[in-house]
Amino acid sequence: MTDSIRFPATFTWGVATSAFQIEGAATADGKGPSIWDTFCRDPANIIDGSNGDVACDHYHRYLDDVDLIASLGVDAYRFSMAWSRVQPLGSGAWNEPGFDFYDRLLDALAAKGIAAHLTLYHWDLPQALQDAGGWLNRDTAHRFADYAAEVSRRFGDRVASIATHNEPWCSANLGYGNGQFAPGVADAKAAIQVSHHLLLSHGLAMSAMRAVGAAAKLGIVLNQWTADPATDSAADHALAELEYARSVQWFMDPIFKGSYPALALRAHGANAPVVHDGDFAAICQPLDFLGVNYYFRAFCSAETPPRQPPEAHARTDMGWEVYPRGLTELLLKLHREYPLPPVYITENGMASADRIEAGAVSDAARIDYVRTHLSALAEAIAQGVDVRGYFLWSLLDNFEWNSGYAKRFGIVYVDYATQQRTPKASARWYRDFIAQRRGAPTLD
């Protein structure tokens, strides 16, 4: 069945993680605290009262983890750098032992022939910058640009790509809009201003890294979804259009068109962000690639209570609707609306309540999820979207933010008591799928 899914011969296959979710070693070797370290100090913020102090202990086990990655036969590994590990205060002095860790990780990946795709910011702002106002403080954007330039000077010729941000929608709306994520602020106006500063920081970082002139491809990773009206009613259509404008276009338009979408700006009213002269020129930088994270679609109903997606659609352990067609539709829509650079699916995967039985984890639903999404992705490519790679989220079960360790996204099971890693059935399936691709008919 999977034989019929076709991809270009040069397609990149990968797995993804992020620093706070796997590294642990919260205070090792001079690392400064991040906003997620602080947020977890109040156990009420995390469903299981846990924290990232140890997580998957990847900081100490990275060599074994790189072996694990290599055993999957993937081409590439996407991970993030913990800013406060390499610059404990988010400004000023660099922490050499922190850089040494990433240096060793890059060596280990290179030794296995695995391309490194680095994300600079996967939500773990140095706490010292938070104490000065965090992303509400415009100056943080400049600190981020300095950090980006330094990383690119040191590692820019050793990594295949550098993404500025991971999912700034989440940093703004979950960090500052509803307070579910660090730093735990619930203030609609603040969230919108933060989204602007995140975009500004992206643009400043792109320019700063370009000035360094490293070989790495530079871009950003956005979480995106299509927004479907629940019914044909005018109210549902209007809601869907607004949802798409506030989430997808809000980040895409400034980057590709140099302005905010008028519909969303009107809806924000007095909460619209303060934008300085020249901000859009700074934000609207050419990208070498666009990373798209896709998990689900938005299903928009103006009724009370809102209509839900059809019962027949499966849901993941997060309660997220399984909707692979949305990936094809999203990519085709983006392709129509923007002059896209090469696209990478930088995250896609699902949580399931996996159990280890007789040393094995049978996660058939995850295999089905990945297979159907890959098929949806192949369809978008066949229809002309230039997608160059796919990174499965995630390599390991890990600290799933405010869900703690209660939700398992890995294709490798982690026993947190022993740190033992056990590849799930999906890991073997993914390995075989990739191996088969190499011998299978391709698009070119």
Q: What is the binding site for ligand FCB (CB under 6 A)?
A: 18, 21, 166-167, 170, 223, 293, 347, 393, 400-401, 409
Determine which one of 23, 167, 329, 400 is catalytic: 167
Determine which one of 23, 243, 321, 347 is catalytic: 347
71 CB-side CA count, 13 A: 16
311 tagged catalytic:
no
Q: Which is nearer to ligand FCB, 329 or 347 (CB)?
A: 347
In contact, 421 and 413? CB cutoff 8 Å: yes
Structure-block tokens of residue 79:
């991970």
379 tagged catalytic:
no
Q: What are the two backbone dihedrals, phi and then psi, of residue 293, each rounded to the nearest 5 degrees? A: -100, 125
Quote the least distance from Cβ 166 to ligand FCB, whole Å.
5
Q: Which is nearer to ligand FCB, 293 or 301 (CB)?
A: 293
Per-position DSSP letters for 263-299, written without gaps between them: HHHHHHGGGPPP--TTHHHHH-PPPSEEEEE----EE
Quote the least distance from Cβ 317 to ligand FCB, whole Å.
11
Q: Which is nearer to ligand FCB, 117 or 437 (CB)?
A: 117
CA 317 to centroid of chain Cα atoms: 19
Task: Return d(Cα 198, Cα 191) in angstroms, integer.
Answer: 10
Q: Which is nearer to ligand FCB, 45 or 166 (CB)?
A: 166
Counting Cβ atoms within 10 Å, is residue 4 exposed (0-12), middle (13-18) or buried (19+)?
exposed
Quote the least distance from Cβ 319 to ligand FCB, whole Å.
12
Quote the least distance from Cβ 211 to ligand FCB, whole Å.
28
Angle at 409 between CA 115 and CA 2, to 5 degrees: 70
Task: Return d(Cα 267, Cα 273) in angstroms, integer.
Answer: 12
Quote the least distance from Cβ 204 to ligand FCB, whole Å.
22
Q: Which is nearer to ligand FCB, 88 or 349 (CB)?
A: 349
Catalytic residues: 167, 347
